[in-house]
Amino acid sequence: MEVLRGTLDSQLPLIEKAIEEADFLSFDAEFSGLHNSLSLRSHPLDDLQTRYEKYRKNAQEFLVVQFGLTCFKWSGEDDKGFLAKPFNFYVFPTTTSGRAQLDRVFVSQSSGLDFLAKHGFDFNKWVYQGIPYMTVQEEKIYVEKKMRELNGNMPDVQVDENCQAFVNELCQNIDDWLTIGQENYLNIDVSNGYRRRLVYQEVRNRYGPELVAEGRQGFIKISKTSDESRTKLKEEKIKLFEHDVQRAIGFRKIIDLICRSKKPIIGHNMFLDLCMIYEQFFEPLPERFEDFQRKIHEIFPSLYDTKHLASRILGLETSFGDSSLSELISRVKGAAFASPDIQIHYEHPRYWSDSYFHEAGYDAYCTGFVFLKLGGYLGKKSLPTSKEKQKVEHSSEYVYDYESMSSVEDSNWDYATGREITPATVSPPPFEIFKIPEITKEKNRLHLVKSDVDSFSLEEPNVMSLEKPNVFYVKIVEPAPTKFSPKLLTQHLYKTYGNVFIYSLKENQCFLTFKNVVDLEDVKGLLNSTPGLKVEMMSYKNYVDNKAVL
């Protein structure tokens, strides 16, 4: 279901109800870019503080342009399935929909916009119908300022010499009007914001509550007031003020609903997403990673990362390989992942049949879909064999329909081809899924891309050791850099070690990162046995200790 600037207010009750009824939520976000310089790209050997600083700088410049949310609800014991309600929000910092809107400056990356355009992003809809927003911090500042104005507690501005004559004439006109004026009001022409401020200030300070100044297009209307009219006018101003604030908060209402729900939240590779969301909808990101870690955990106390679950918990690095969301979706539609059944609610038909990868609403749905299928897969692996069924038939830890599927031992699942003859139809209830040990132990662990450490915790201290037995520093002695690129080293290593990640330092120096722990001398011997190639190598720790002299 698409949600735009003009429909948010009418759809908000529906969204609130969906969140309230959900057993868990999944989300995704699309951005105006990822990084505006090579120095801000992720390095495989970044420690957490360094990686966070890069994400923080990027989050300060780029925008969340589209946000996807899907609410998953267990549809009942008899149905044995989940009902999904996906929402897709366009988010844009417009200045045209209220007096409280902020004029923001942000960065766009051409490759990022190309990527969005390639996947059907509607830029006209983004600009003309995108939902505005206000951070928690901005809302607090704005509300405090407007309340001071409503209560007449605004600080005075200095009257400069050029405007003193204007102030004198203003006061004289008001005095004359009060003395001999026959009209109930006096209009004062003003040419700029500074003079407007002076009119409000002089009326407030010199004449008190007996007069009221109201802004109009090109002039200010000054009127005599009674107690009744002053009360009515203040009520109207408060009502207008509250309306402006609510429109300005805009999309952050959705973020607030998610936060208040305290429901489990599922994301896919969500470290950067969380940084962007915090910066754009709460307050500026803190400088220290540990402070970010603490604050995010307070806001979102129950997070699960499907990229981390797929690549590590299920041991699917070799059988899945690519753990991108689109690849995982194609994999978990196999027979081994037939459980649980997942249906999209009839009021949300856009994703019934077609794929919309990299549309945030669709990716949010896919993220929750993958999570449930992985949970069902783990639940199936936890099933007893036929000889053991009687022992656990009445166990309260999991509730499964054993008669509807075969055990893992009985199935013909082929991990190489991704096929299974006997499909599974079991559906663990939602709260049982969150009790599966392989999932619960990975709660609040987020995936790290392009890193020799695959994940980090939002709850516990994270220590990234300098002992990296799968990372080596390499210096190419022969041939000369003009004749040999460090990237060519992977050609000599692939047959023995498979994929090797290389990161160039200088024209003849680089890091090699292996998927598994390997022996330095074995790698060095293999490279130096190549005709015409001579290298020097050392461990990552030795490199850190000696890099000043290298």
User: Per-residue pLDDT tens for 318-333?
Assistant: 444 567 888 888 888 8
pLDDT higher than 70, residue 79: no
Is the separation of the CB atoms in 323 and 485 below 8 Å? no
User: Per-residue pLDDT tens for 480-528?
Assistant: 777 777 777 888 888 888 878 888 787 888 888 887 889 999 999 999 9
pTM, entire model? 0.75
Give the single-character DSSP code of 391: H
Residue of higher predicted confidence among 482 and 370: 370
The per-residue DSSP string of 539-550 comes to EHHHHHHHGGG-
pLDDT higher than 80, residue 30: yes
Which strands make up the sheet holding 534-539, listed edge to edge?
Answer: 500-506, 509-514, 471-478, 534-539
Interior angle at CA 364, CA 73 and CA 32, nearest 5? 155
User: Per-residue pLDDT tens for 381-425?
Assistant: 654 443 443 443 333 333 333 233 333 333 343 333 343 434 444
Alpha-carbon distances of 140 from 59, 155, 249, 283, 404, rounded to whole Å: 21, 18, 11, 11, 56
At the second CATH level, the architecture of 149-238 is 2-Layer Sandwich (3.30)
Half-sphere exposure of 326 (CA within 13 A, CB side): 6
User: Per-residue pLDDT tens for 423-478?
Assistant: 444 445 555 888 888 899 999 999 988 776 778 999 988 877 777 888 899 999 88
Share of the chain above pLDDT 70, in %: 85
At the second CATH level, the architecture of 2-132+250-377 is 2-Layer Sandwich (3.30)
In this structure, the number of other CB atoms found within 10 A of the CB of residue 460 comes to 10
Is the separation of the CB atoms in 297 and 149 below 8 Å? no
Alpha-carbon distances of 61 from 124, 274, 296, 501, rounded to whole Å: 21, 15, 20, 29
Per-residue confidence at 76, pLDDT binned at 50, 70, 90?
low
pLDDT higher than 80, residue 26: yes
Q: CATH assignment of 471-549?
A: 3.30.70
Half-sphere exposure of 324 (CA within 13 A, CB side): 5
Share of the chain above pLDDT 90, in %: 39
Query: 367, 342, 288: which is closest to 67 by C-alpha?
Result: 367
Mean pLDDT for all residues in the chain = 82
**What is the model's pLDDT at position 283?**
92
Q: Where are the alpha helices (DSSP H) in 62-135?
A: 110-118, 123-129
In this structure, the number of other CB atoms found within 10 A of the CB of residue 84 comes to 24
Alpha-carbon distances of 288 from 46, 50, 53, 117, rounded to whole Å: 15, 10, 8, 35
User: Per-residue pLDDT tens for 109-152?
Assistant: 889 999 999 999 999 999 999 999 988 888 888 888 777 777 76
Query: 152, 167, 164: which is closest to 205 by C-alpha?
Result: 152
User: Per-residue pLDDT tens for 158-211?
Assistant: 888 888 999 999 999 999 898 887 788 899 998 888 888 899 888 888 888 888
Measured in Å, how far apart are the chain's first and last C-alpha atoms?
A: 57
Is the separation of the CB atoms in 44 and 451 below 8 Å? yes
pLDDT higher than 70, residue 64: yes
Residue 139, judged by CB atoms within 10 A of its CB (0-12, 13-18, 19+), counts as middle
Domain ranges of the chain: 2-132+250-377, 149-238, 471-549
Is the separation of the CB atoms in 102 and 135 below 8 Å? no
Go through 15-52 and write b for each residue having 16 or more CB atoms within 10 A of its CB, e for each that does not: beebbeebbbbbbbbbbbbbbeeeeeebebbbbbeebb
Give the single-character DSSP code of 351: G
**What is the model's pLDDT at position 393?**
38
The set of residues, in sequence order, having a beta carbon less than 8 Å from that of 484 and lying 6+ positions away, is 476, 533
Tokens 């107690």 belong to 227
